Amino acid sequence: MLRGASLFCFVAGVIVVIAIAWAVRLSLDPRHYFFYETTDRTTWVYRPGHVAFVCAIMVAEAALVWGVFVQPRPALWFRCAIGLSILGPWALLSTSVFMHTPGYVLFHHLWVWLLVGLLMLAASASVGWHVYRRLRRAMTGAVEQPR
């Protein structure tokens, strides 16, 4: 089991690093920023502090989702519900403004909704599996052994 958990952590880490690298790449390109006039592009100044802040938020969101999947107890659907109770309102709040935002902020919007979708999918699968096991146990009359 440790190998599976280690592989999951490695793959999740690689995905986060790729997402951060993509956000930084988008932030470096002036074509991904909105300018009212084309002459404004010549006075464009790169602001690394805001990019670092958005990347730190992306890492924190990924850490929250990682924590949901790595913890062994309680049930996965319950952990997903807790994660969704935090990440869902944050996603609604953070993506409410999107007009004229830089490309890396729009990428963050996609990132956070991808994580919300992942939690929703995992919660749905876990609830389905939980209901299936309960129905199967009720139909066969089997008694589940405590763990």
Residue 81 pLDDT greater than 60, yes or no: yes
Q: Are 81 and 123 in contact (CB under 8 A)?
A: yes
pLDDT score at 14: 93
Rounded to two decimals, the pTM is: 0.84
Identify whether 147 is part of a domain.
no
In this predicted structure, what is the pLDDT of residue 1? 42
pLDDT, tens digit, 9 for 90 and up, residues 26-45: 999 888 888 888 777 777 88
pLDDT score recorded for residue 145: 64
Residue 75 domain-assigned (yes or no)? yes
> Using CA atoms in the order 128, 75, 134, 146, what is the torsion angle rounded to 10 degrees?
160
> How many folded domains does the chain comprise?
1
In a domain, 145, yes or no: no
- Give the domain range for residue 8: 2-140
Does any domain span residue 146?
no
Count of residues in the chain: 147
51 located within any domain:
yes
Q: Is a pLDDT exceeding 90 seen at residue 61?
A: yes
Q: How far is 109 from 6, CA to CA, in rounded Å?
A: 28
Is 127 inside a domain boundary?
Answer: yes
Cα–Cα distance for residue pair 115/57, rounded to 1 Å: 13
For residues 94-104, average pLDDT: 85
* Residue 97 counted as domain residue: yes
Whether 46 is in a domain gets the answer yes
